Structure 1
Amino acid sequence: MMTAKPPFDQLVRYHGARVWRVCRAVLGPVDADDAWSETFLAALRAYPELPSGADHGAWLATIAYRKAVDAARARERRATPTPDHGDRVSILGQPGTGDDELTDAVRSLPDKQRQAVTLHYLADLPYAQVATELGGTPEAARRAVSDGLRTLRKRLAGPPSGGRP
């Protein structure tokens, strides 16, 4: 005798706790909710093809276990957050080794000079490309870089030495 399959929402009510326990056992309480939802979404898609005499609880528990294992594997592949070290980066691109005084001095340059110095020296663009990026001529880009460097030298040189204050 063939029995009709129960409505899907009835499976959720009857077996939801079992699915939750499987997901929680594999993943812990934080990620279990997502795996529970993924289990029932996958089951809903496959439910029309499920034979009417199948053990629904075992079928759902198997799906839950596989979804939880997939989630655990995905969690292992995710990037691990690291402490925020601020936005200080050296000229060489090595975080945390930057010269704070130089960084502050570059940031304090007028916009055009800061952008020109950055594009020419840090991005290693020729003056023609700097001009294209900033809108202007290569001569204007060269001048902005030159003015920026002069300003940086003055700021970083400190007070002149040689007997006078």
Structure 2
Amino acid sequence: MGVTLRPFEEIVAEHGAVVMRVCRALLRPAEADDAWSETFLAALRTYPDLRPDSNVRGWLVTIAHSKAIDILRRSARAPRPTADVPERRAAAAPAERGDPVDDDLVAALRRLPTKQRQAVVMRYLADLAYADVASALGSTQAAARRSAADGIAALRAALTRTRPDLKHNDPKGPLP
């Protein structure tokens, strides 16, 4: 007799917020919503084949990362409008749902080089172990650690320039 997996709805309820944080950190709000949906559609298709001892969070973050990269590639190939139109905020912005949003931090995160941004997002927003970050990025654990550390250092430098009231040694500060 085979091992019974938890209902997929429980997986979505438990890990949906982490997947959304990863998607939002890598993409604009509308794209993040699409990546979240695509992540769970892809996960639903392969969930029955998942080994019972699998790291579900790591598996979902890896799928979310892949979906975000797909969306970034598609948008890079898409034609761009000639007039700049400001992006509208989603109806339920993170602050409206009670999620704290630091616009300076989000802007600094988006300016990081891709590998650093991905490593920081997976390690600190998705709370993945470095082994899982390395696996998702296709690198070694040492490279994942270095990318995350360099990303955090760059975020600290950027935030102390734009927000001198924040000090990296402040235990209540926004960075680890």
TM-score, length-scaled by structure 2: 0.44
* Greater relative contact order structure (CA < 8 Å, 6+ sep): 2
TM-score, length-scaled by structure 1: 0.47
Larger Cα Rg: Structure 1 or Structure 2? 1
